[in-house]
Every structure is written in C-alpha cells, then in structure tokens.
Amino acid sequence: MFNNYIDEFIPVQSLREYLKNEPISDSEVADIIFYAKAPLQRKREALFELENMEHLGNRKALWEYWLKYRESIDEAFSLMDSENAVFVVYEYSLHEHDGESDEWMHGIFSSYDVAMRFIRKDSEFKKAEKNLNHWYVINLWMKEDEGYYKDTCDYYIIDDELCYAEFDVSSDFHEGCVDGELSIPVHYKPGDILIADNYPFGHKQKFVMLKIGDNRDCCCLQALIRRQDGSWKVGAVKHGMMGDTIYPRISVLYTADTYIPDLSITEDVILEKISEIVAGDEKKGCDLWNKLNDSDISSDEKISGILFV
C-alpha cells in the first residue's frame, strides 16, 4: 500500500525492502515523508495523497495528529506571500572537522522570492568549496498589530531546495521537523556496525547497535558512538541522542547502512570488538549497554580497557 512512498523517501535499499514487508501504519508513513530531506512541495503533495488513500480501519493511527503535518506546510507556503513581513537570510557552514556550524546573517529582504534569488546566487559561489557542508535558513518575521515583528517561520534551504519549514501552526500544534527524531521499525540487529550521513547538518557517524528491544518503542534502539572529542556515548537512536547532539538534525534512520570497519583506525577496532562481543545477541547487548553506561568511556584508551581484558 505504501511502497511508492517508501521507495521515494527512504534512501537506503535494505531499509526500503524491510519496510515493504513490515506492517506499518499510515502515521509512520506520514512521519517518513514529513521528516525526510526532500523538497517541501513534494512532501506536501505526498501527504495530501496519503490523506486521500483508502485505508484499512486499523491503519488510522494518530490520524488527527499527522493530518496537521500538511496543514503546517500549507501555512508555511501561504506565509511566503506576506506583505507585512521581512525575511532574514542566515547561512550556516560546517567544515570537515568542525563540531558546530558557523552562522552568518546575510541580510534582510522584502519578500521570500527576493531572499531565494540571493541564496541561489550566493550558493553558486560555494559549489567549488570542498569538505564544506552548508545550508541557509530564511527567517520570516511577521509584523503584529502592536507594531513589533514576531519570529514566525524558519525555511530551511538545502542545495537550493526548500526542504523544511518550522513554526507554530496553531496554539495546540508545534512540530519540530528538524529535531532528528523518527520512530519506525528497522532491520538492524544487535552488534550491527552502521554509518549514517547527516548531511548537511552534521558529519558521517559510525555506530554499533547494542539493543533493538521491541523495535517499536521510541527508545528501544540503543547504540554506542564515538563523539567528536574522542569520548564515547550510548544513546537512543530514534531520538537522535547519539554522539554529538546537534540541532538542526535529520534522523540517522534515513541513511544508516552497513559499514565495514577499517581496522587500521582505532575507532573501527573498538566498533568491531563490540560487534564481536554482542554477535546478534540482545541479552549480550543489554549487558554491555549497562556496563558501558555505568563506566568511564571518555576516551579510546578507557573504553579499550573495558573491552580488551
């Protein structure tokens, strides 16, 4: 029923094939669409299509909630034409070894279209730069009746394409579309070593799975990852609470794929050792999670002292 959306919005083939054979709900498919790094207009169309599909009764989980995804996108598009507003353009860049992005404010513009013309022109100059991730945010400030301007909506531009829009659509709904969370079932096993590409908001991350749990709960997937400063951390994969927690971010579930360790790299030797210890066994992964969570793993040397004994 949902295979075309899985093919379109999930980049990794192994996860695509798994999800096509897994019973997933329309709300999970809506999450996949809404949080994906994809053109916002296409996500708007896909969500509208999903709303108008004939669903089995038991697939309408969280219907009232995820319907607001498209409402928020519609509102973001309508605000682009606001006359009593200004549009502030920020650029963010992340070099190869940086832990945090640098920010520049380029200017204040009278309309969204003018701001986008500036971004496309400025972005053209950046294309030749190597080892650089960068993106833009158009920050819409709406003029209120009292005469002041209110921070209303952020438009995220990635590779000259509007991919996300984040704002308060109503008093009872606010959805952080770049908070790095996605709760869907996955095909990983305890001990799997994976690598995810966090472009453009972050670098590639290698991690090893420790716990899968029921594969449904938002905290069930637990992994170990090496931080930028050389320390190690266990954390919840679906919540994006692994390694260096940055914002904005995109869920690693979109791009995580099998990684073959390079045993000339200390980090990879440690990942390989953990994979050998866990070896697909959930209980072994849980035991190791408990041990590492209670230990000092602030360096390669300290975690190696725990593992290689």
Res 62: pLDDT: 55
Res 192: pLDDT: 98
Contact, 188 vs 252, CB < 8 A?
no
Above 70 in pLDDT, residue 50? yes
Above 70 in pLDDT, residue 188? yes
Res 143: pLDDT: 93
β-sheet bridge partners, residue 206? 195
Encode pLDDT of 207-255 as tens digits.
Answer: 999 999 999 888 999 999 998 889 999 999 998 877 776 778 899 999 9
Picking from 28, 61, 56, 46, the residue whose alpha carbon sits closest to that of residue 181 is 28
Measured CA angle at 192 (ends 187, 198), to 5 deg: 80
Res 181: pLDDT: 85
Res 237: pLDDT: 93
Q: Which residues of 231-260 are buried (b: 16+ CB within 10 A; e: fewer)?
A: bbbbbbbbbbbbbbebebbbbbbbbbeebe
Above 90 in pLDDT, residue 261? yes
Q: How confident is the model at residue 186 (pLDDT cuts 50, 70, 90)?
A: very high
Res 297: pLDDT: 94
Above 70 in pLDDT, residue 169? no
Encode pLDDT of 102-137 as tens digits.
Answer: 999 999 999 999 999 999 999 988 887 777 899 999
CA trace torsion 190, 5, 7, 116 (10° rounding): -100
Res 68: pLDDT: 83
Q: How confident is the model at residue 171 (pLDDT cuts 50, 70, 90)?
A: very low
Residues 6+ apart with CB under 8 A from 124: none
In this structure, the number of other CB atoms found within 10 A of the CB of residue 105 comes to 10
The domain segmentation of the chain, as residue ranges, is 3-78, 85-174, 193-307
What is the side-by-side order of every strand in the sheet holding 149-158? 102-109, 85-95, 132-143, 149-158, 161-170, 173-174
Query: Residue 119: which H helix or E strand, with range?
Result: helix 112-126
CA distance 201 to 184: 21
